[in-house]
Copies of this chain bind each other. A is one copy, B any other.
Amino acid sequence: MQQTLSQPSPGSLLLLPILYVVWSDTLISDQELTALRRFLKEIDWLSDADRNYLKEKLSPQSPPDREELESWWQTIKGAVQENKTYPDLSSIGMDLLSKDAPEEAHTFPLEKVKSELATLEKQLGIVGKSAALIFKSEHHNISTSYQTQQGFDVGKLTSILDGNRKPLIDELKAFIATKEFDYVQPDDLEKYRNQVLNWCKILADEGYGAIGFPEAYGGKDDMEGYFTVMETLSYRDLSMVIKFGVQFGLWGMSILSLGTKRHHDRYLSSIGKLELPGCFAMTETNHGSNVKGIETTAVYDHEARTFTIHTPHINARKEYIGNAAMHGRMATVFAKLIIGGKDYGVSTFVVPLRDQQGNILPGIDIEDCGRKMGLNGVDNGLISFNQVVIPKENMLDRFSSVDEHGKFQSSIAGDNKRFFTMLGTLVGGRIGIPRSANAASKTGLTIAVRYGDKRRQFGPEGGEEIPILNYRMHQRRLIPLLAKTYACHFALEYVTARFLGRKEEEMQEIEALAAGMKAYVTWHNTATLQECREACGGKGYLSENRIDALKNDTDIYTTFEGDNTVLLQLVAKSRLSAYKEQFENMNIFTIINYVAAKTKTSITEKNPLIIRNTDEQHLLDPDFHLSAFEYRESSILDSAAKRLKRLMDEGMDPFDAVNVSQHHLLTLGEAFIERVVLEKFQEKITSESDPEIKKVLKKLCDLFALYQMEQHKGWYLEQGYMEGVKTKAIRKMVNQLCWEIRKDAVPLVNAFNIPDSCLSAPIAM
């Protein structure tokens, strides 16, 4: 193996590029061998020396080693003219001959050589034009040279994302970027939970906890600020976010929304300062989604002016209650109000759980939920009440109360209406959670995109390894998710604004928007973090890079504040009844009313010119995108309505009819929200003036729209709204947009402006 390399003879120089290509592929196949040997035998312009050299080099038993291949490579490269286009490998062989053996070159019948070598190349199946490229320096391949550009002002885009809350966001980011908020190991549950409580106290001391409370109670009456804080905190530890949300959002806001001045005066200030940690005890083991079915009772005793709170059986315990296992001293408890043996439906009561020293009070039994998939800094627990007596004034009496004669009173007639109105006050949680989820997606994408830009693996023959974000599949994995995260950001901005400026008559619509966004954004978040984990390979599995915590902490977001599957059904029902219904109502009857009206309306006609239009201009036209989304939404609405009516006309039980149509209803809920998301993204772009930012946002929006259409192409084709040529053109455009946006990907995640100490992941630095 150590012999000096024999030099190629002049004639074999002509075949050297072919020889290199054949051998660089490791194995020589029988087919290739046969073709080459026949060639050597038949060709008359090869000398014996050529023939011997070539025969020797074609032995499968002694293939050229890497040193010899390298020397061939250098020899060939030395003869290649960088600016020349070679149609095949033999043309390179010709140049090689003229350069390395100029004297002998004229002795060959060049025309004949050329034609016979061309035949050989064809037999070997070599696409010469392409293969010839590998001998050029840098290979001139686009996959290697592609890289990040700075196409827009990152700071400006950050300002657009932050909007008018930029001062608060910047201030809070600087605050949580300090050492004090450094991540801790989640190993020791107790330590972690106390650390999280401590973080919340620091935040409360700075006034962030009470920000949404009235000024009279130490707050700033700034509900938008509260959402902004929830979102911004989400760049740090997510247990802290949820503990914060339990204390100030669920516990505090339930006092604010369901109680009256008496309760506000008594509790709000100390809640805002986290001097009075509390719980929101709604869910029971047997009743999560179906809150109406809870079984805890609050029996009124008029003589004593008290309520007795009681848990009738083990599966009626309050479960998953944040702040319960360790820190909560009181709880807002949802229970059925019983007066004189009569059930007045669900009301809420403040029930003390622990004394000032943290000892659990008599009649209260608390069990720790123990370790969870994530959010282990939150002390969730199970609470049961054994005939716990509380004074009358502990009833949160904004919507219902017991008067001095012991009679039930309510400003809202109808148990159901009262119940749903009460639930409606809690809709804020369905805005805070998706905003937190989207922040988690931004963190995950910042880590994965930056890593993809730096991490190199594989590369062209003889060239250097390329950044994995230059791989088309890697782009397809991450860049549509980046586009959707931007889309969700602007849609969440819109839903927040609608919520803040809400009027009574818009409530059903706003509840549907919030619930739909909650489902849409949290599922997107789960998918995004899963993809980020995989896209970062082994590095993504290491806790130091934080994707595991992000994924595990937010995994429950698709369940709490309303299970996504249930929420999308409610959104669909809300759409079917044209927002006429109380949002949470699972009843079916009034859908029928809408169905009767709706089946008369018709939807957008299909345009035969559109269904096969594959012009780039058309494919990138926002009006095309929006009308395709609207068509999907209205068609599914119409077909779901017709289907329900048909099933019920046929005499199917209404509950069965809804069940049979459940998949259809979920698709309807999703199609509705997706249209809103696109619409709001487009509106944002229209209003943007900076041309560079407008351009990159337009690309993201186009990608969002086309990628979703690609996901739904089965449906569009089924409907005849598009033909195969068009869906194929869309796929191609998605690939193209991913490729184009890849250059902007790093600046686009940098625009999220997440502090390094919050990101913390070594692979993102």
* Contacts known (A541-B373, A648-B130, A655-B139); A1 close to B552, Cβ less than 8 A: no
Quick check: A653 and B592 within 8 Å, CB to CB? Answer: no
Residues of B within 8 A of A21 (CB): 589
Within 8 A of B (CB), among A648-683: 648-657, 659-660, 662-663, 666
Provide the A543-584 mask, 1 if CB < 8 A to any CB of B, else 0: 110011001100110111001110000000000000011100
- Of the 9-residue stretches A218-226, A409-417, A613-621, which lies at the interface with chain B? A409-417
Decide if A26 is an interface residue (CB 8 Å cutoff).
yes
Q: Which of chain B's residues have a CB closer than 8 A to the CB of A32?
A: 593
Interface residues of A in 18-52 (CB under 8 A from B): 21-22, 24-27, 29, 31-32
Contact: A26 with B724, CB < 8 Å? no
**Residue A2 at the B interface, CB < 8 A?**
yes
CB distance from A558 to the nearest CB of B (A): 6
A2 to B139 alpha-carbon distance, docked (Å): 89
**Which of A55-63, A227-235, A439-447, A692-700 participates in binding chain B?**
A55-63
CB of A131 within 8 A of CB of B542, answer no
Any B CB within 8 A of the CB of A585 = yes
A194 to chain B, nearest CB (A): 15
Question: Which B residues touch A656, using CB under 8 A?
Answer: 141-143
When distances are taken between beta carbons in the complex, the residues of chain B under 8 Å from A542 are 369-373
Q: Is A594 an interface residue (CB 8 A)?
A: yes
Answer yes or no: A216 CB below 8 A from chain B CBs.
Answer: no
Does the CB pair A141–B655 fall under 8 Å?
A: yes
In contact, B458 and A653 (Cβ under 8 angstroms): no
Q: Are A125 and B530 in contact (CB under 8 A)?
A: no
- Which of A244-252, A304-312, A466-474, A604-612 participates in binding chain B? A466-474
Chain B residues whose CB sits within 8 angstroms of the CB of A142 once the complex forms: 653, 656
Q: Which of A289, A597, A662: most chain B Cβ within 10 A?
A: A662
A582 to B26, Cβ gap below 8 A?
Answer: yes
With A586-B458, A728-B718: A420-B26 Cβ-Cβ less than 8 Å: yes
| Cβ-neighbour of A548 out of B124, B474, B544, B552 (below 8 A) | B552
Contacts of A544 in B (CB 8 A): 370-371
Binds B, one of A90-98, A157-165, A185-193, A327-335: A185-193
Whether A288 contacts B654 by the Cβ 8 Å rule is no
**Residue A116 CB within 8 A of the other chain:** no
For A662, what are the chain B residues with a Cβ–Cβ distance below 8 Å?
471-473
A264-272, A481-489, A531-539 - the one binding chain B: A531-539
**Contact between A289 and B458, CB atoms less than 8 A apart:** yes
A460 contacts the other chain (CB 8 A): yes
> How long is the Cα–Cα vector from A727 to B655 in the complex, in angstroms?
27
Q: How far is the CA of A127 from the CA of B647 in the complex (A)?
A: 10
Q: Does A465 touch B at the CB level, under 8 Å?
A: yes
State whether the Cβ of A106 lies closer than 8 Å to any Cβ in chain B.
no
Residues on B with beta carbons closer than 8 Å to the beta carbon of A590: 25, 27, 29, 125
Q: Judging by beta carbons under 8 Å apart, are A461 and B718 in contact?
A: no
Closest to A590 in B: B25
Q: Is the CB of A130 within 8 A of B652?
A: yes
- Cβ of A78 within 8 Å of any chain B Cβ, yes or no, is no
Among A60-74, those with CB < 8 Å from B are 60-63, 65-67
Complex alpha-carbon distance, A581 and B60, angstroms: 15
Beyond A125-B595, A530-B526, is A459–B655 a contact (Cβ under 8 Å)? yes
Residues of B within 8 A of A596 (CB): 122, 125
Contact of A541 among B372, B533, B660 (CB under 8 A): B372
Q: Give Cα A580–Cα B416 distance, bound, in whole angstroms.
A: 70
Instruction: Determine whether A85 belongs to the interface, using a CB cutoff of 8 Å to chain B.
Output: yes
Please report the C-alpha to C-alpha distance between residue A474 and residue B124 in the assembled complex, in whole angstroms: 55
Asked if A719 is an interface residue, CB under 8 A from chain B, the answer is: yes
* Pairwise interchain contact B538-A320, C-beta atoms closer than 8 A: yes
Distance in Å: Cβ of A720 to nearest Cβ of chain B: 7
- A560-B538 in contact (CB<8A): yes
Other-chain residue from B60, B139, B459, B653 in contact with A460 (beta carbon distance below 8 A): B653
The residues of B that contact A580 with a CB separation of less than 8 Å are 27, 29
Given the known inter-chain contacts A655-B460, A655-B461, please indicate yes or no for A373 contacting B533, CB distance below 8 A: yes
Which of B143, B187, B581 touches A655 (beta carbons < 8 Å)?
Answer: B143
Q: Which residue of B lies closest to A420 (CB)?
A: B26
Can you add 16 more A-B contacts, CB < 8 Å, to A129-B649, A320-B541, A718-B727? A24-B587, A24-B589, A32-B593, A60-B413, A66-B345, A122-B596, A125-B596, A187-B371, A289-B457, A370-B543, A372-B541, A471-B662, A473-B565, A473-B662, A526-B530, A552-B552
Can you give 23 A-B contacts (C-beta < 8 A)?
A26-B587, A27-B414, A27-B580, A63-B414, A63-B417, A66-B345, A67-B342, A125-B597, A130-B592, A130-B651, A130-B657, A131-B648, A290-B457, A369-B542, A372-B541, A373-B547, A470-B659, A471-B659, A472-B659, A537-B559, A538-B560, A541-B556, A717-B717
